[in-house]
């Protein structure tokens, strides 16, 4: 146990570490693939970006184009579509187990299911280099298996948070746990790039996959499914949590499927999740490729600059969460206003930045600043729609999160494939402009729908069969 730290904060910290690990091994392929692929061997038929974005001589020495850098290239000749398939195939498995992960956690608990899934994901990651050399289909199969393992992890956290996070700390605790995703993204991209550059791309998978043993050991030691089951929590803290959280009357609560399916706020939540997934996964999967083919950054610079937006996202997510909880405690605004304001910042801000990126052309500095802001402002979602499940239906938060995230996962793989189709053999500014404008439009629609139809009011079908401790 983390001595002297309240049990709920220790649980949150270890959950944060595990989310860090989840996203590190989920997304490492997006930067490692730059070292795996031989880009100069891929045929391109359109105007090259080197012709469009001619660099001044003084910049060429510091930032030579990727195709003129002194490296031998990767060993795999994968065009844009294959690269996207490698990345997005993760979600073909992810969508399946996400649909049921939350419900399983509600019925049987989060602790051991989470641990088993995490260990499986680590083992699959260690095997990925072998699968890649066995053939593209085998590597894609490995990514699908990774998705199947991780699919149960994220929705299973919702029931855990519902039992551990007092109402006045809900935004902060939830955001802190989920911000592990940003830290995992930042360090995962940075470390993966540095490891691939110095030790070879295979080492990134071997080293990161092996870390599963560490994070799972910490999880099993610290995390319990509820304060009542925790052997080291103080009576005072247990009572404090119990007095300000909602728990179901019994573990076998029947899910009100019809009520969920006909709930307008649930549909608004689905639209918001779809928009968020399009933007997040388009940028996380395509940004390293854009950095290499359009902005001409080398492997090390690519890794660092691709990670920077997610560092900003992490910092902003924590700052917004603290302000959201302070606003709620002081009564400055209703929960509904807090959620919708945070969500609007997270969607309309990036939409504006991507609109501007579409017309910055070859201006590196302006493009980088706008891309950092486009990703960074998304950190406000953790105080927006991403916590809305707990507001309107804490008894079924895991089920709702799993269903909505599972359905919305379609955009997690559709967005990169659409961008790959737009830029296949045409790595040009005009093609990328279409990708950015499309993403910007989707985010605007997402924000408007949540503003009009989203709700933080506890739904009647959730209240009927619950007890307030």
By C-alpha distance, which of 271, 277, 274, 278 is closest to 418?
278
Distance CA 352, CA 345 (A): 10
Confidence at residue 205, expressed as pLDDT on a 0 to 100 scale: 94
Distance CA 242, CA 469 (A): 6
Mean pLDDT for 220-242 is 89
Confidence at residue 14, expressed as pLDDT on a 0 to 100 scale: 95
375 — phi, psi (to 5°)?
-80, -45
Angle at 164 between CA 161 and CA 169, to 5 degrees: 85
72 — phi, psi (to 5°)?
-85, -5
Confidence at residue 124, expressed as pLDDT on a 0 to 100 scale: 96
Which residues are within 8 A (CB) of 73 and not within 5 positions of it... i.e. 6 or more apart?
37, 38, 39, 40, 41
Q: What residues does 466 pair with on adjacent strands?
A: 248
Is residue 58 pLDDT above 50, yes or no? no
Q: What residues does 467 pair with on adjacent strands?
A: 247
Which residues are within 8 A (CB) of 46 and not within 5 positions of it... i.e. 6 or more apart?
425, 426, 427, 428, 431
Which residues are within 8 A (CB) of 136 and not within 5 positions of it... i.e. 6 or more apart?
76, 78, 82, 86
Mean pLDDT for 248-277 is 83
By C-alpha distance, which of 352, 358, 350 is closest to 294?
358
Distance CA 22, CA 99 (A): 18
Return the residue matching tokens 């997934």.
Answer: 277
120-129, 143-152, 207-216, 299-308: least confident range: 299-308
76, 37 contact by CB (below 8 A): yes
Confidence at residue 67, expressed as pLDDT on a 0 to 100 scale: 46
Superfamily of domain 253-463: MFS general substrate transporter like domains (1.20.1250.20)
Model pTM?
0.72
- The tens digit of pLDDT for each residue in 397-437 reads 778 888 888 888 888 888 888 888 887 767 778 888 899 99
110, 159 contact by CB (below 8 A): yes
- The tens digit of pLDDT for each residue in 127-141 reads 999 999 999 999 999
Superfamily of domain 1-40+76-252: MFS general substrate transporter like domains (1.20.1250.20)
- DSSP E strands: which ranges in 226-268? 246-248
Confidence at residue 52, expressed as pLDDT on a 0 to 100 scale: 61
Among positive and negative, which fits the CA dihedral 395, 179, 310, 189?
A: negative
Confidence at residue 212, expressed as pLDDT on a 0 to 100 scale: 96
Model confidence at 286, in pLDDT bands (50, 70, 90)? confident
Domain boundaries along the sequence of the chain: 1-40+76-252, 253-463
25-34, 252-261, 287-296, 350-359: least confident range: 287-296
Confidence at residue 208, expressed as pLDDT on a 0 to 100 scale: 94
Tokens of 377: 């402002």
Return the residue matching tokens 């993204």.
Answer: 185
Is residue 82 pLDDT above 80, yes or no? yes
Model confidence at 155, in pLDDT bands (50, 70, 90)? confident
Distances (CA, A) of 448 to 33, 174, 363: 36, 24, 31
């Amino acid at each position: 146990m983390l001595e002297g730290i309240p049990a709920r904060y220790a649980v949150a910290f270890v959950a944060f570490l595990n989310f860090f690990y989840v996203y590190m091994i989920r997304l490492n392929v997006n930067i490692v693939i730059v070292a795996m692929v031989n880009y100069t061997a891929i045929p391109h038929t359109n105007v090259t970006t080197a012709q469009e974005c001619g660099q001044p001589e003084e910049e060429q020495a510091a930032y030579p184009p990727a195709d003129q850098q002194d490296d031998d290239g990767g060993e795999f000749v994968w065009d844009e579509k294959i690269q996207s398939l490698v990345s997005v195939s993760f979600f073909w498995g992810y969508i399946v187990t996400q649909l049921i992960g939350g419900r399983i956690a509600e019925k049987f608990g989060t602790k051991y299911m989470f641990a088993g899934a995490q260990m499986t994901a680590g083992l699959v990651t260690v095997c990925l280099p072998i699968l890649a050399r066995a053939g593209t289909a085998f590597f894609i199969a490995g990514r699908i298996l990774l998705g199947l393992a991780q699919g149960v992890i994220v929705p299973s956290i919702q029931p855990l948070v519902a039992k551990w996070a007092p109402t006045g700390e809900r935004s902060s605790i939830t955001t802190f746990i989920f911000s592990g995703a940003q830290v995992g993204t930042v360090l995962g991209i940075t470390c993966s790039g540095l490891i691939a550059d110095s030790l070879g791309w295979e080492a990134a998978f071997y080293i990161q996959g092996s870390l599963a043993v560490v994070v799972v050991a910490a999880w099993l030691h610290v995390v319990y499914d509820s304060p009542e089951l925790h052997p080291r929590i103080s009576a005072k803290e247990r009572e404090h949590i119990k007095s300000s959280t909602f728990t179901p009357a019994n573990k076998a609560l029947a899910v009100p499927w019809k009520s969920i399916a006909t709930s307008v706020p649930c549909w608004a939540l689905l639209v918001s999740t779809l928009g968020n997934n399009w933007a997040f996964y388009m940028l996380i999967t395509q940004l390293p490729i854009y950095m290499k083919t359009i902005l001409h950054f080398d492997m090390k610079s690519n890794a660092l600059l691709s990670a920077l937006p997610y560092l900003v996202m992490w910092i902003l997510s924590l700052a917004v969460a603290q302000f959201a909880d302070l606003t709620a405690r002081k009564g400055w605004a209703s929960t509904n206003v807090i959620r919708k304001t945070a969500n609007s910042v997270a969607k309309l801000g990036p939409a504006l930045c991507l609109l501007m990126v579409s017309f910055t052309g070859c201006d590196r500095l302006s493009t980088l600043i706008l891309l950092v802001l486009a990703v960074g402002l998304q950190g406000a979602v953790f105080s927006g729609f991403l916590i809305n499940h707990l507001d309107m239906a804490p008894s079924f938060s895991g089920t709702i999160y799993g269903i909505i995230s599972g359905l919305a996962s379609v955009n997690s793989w559709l967005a990169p494939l659409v961008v790959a189709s737009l830029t296949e053999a045409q790595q040009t500014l005009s093609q990328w402009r279409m990708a950015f404008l499309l993403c910007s439009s989707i985010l605007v629609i997402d924000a408007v729908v949540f503003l009009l139809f989203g709700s933080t009011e506890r739904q009647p079908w959730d209240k009927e069969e619950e007890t307030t401790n």
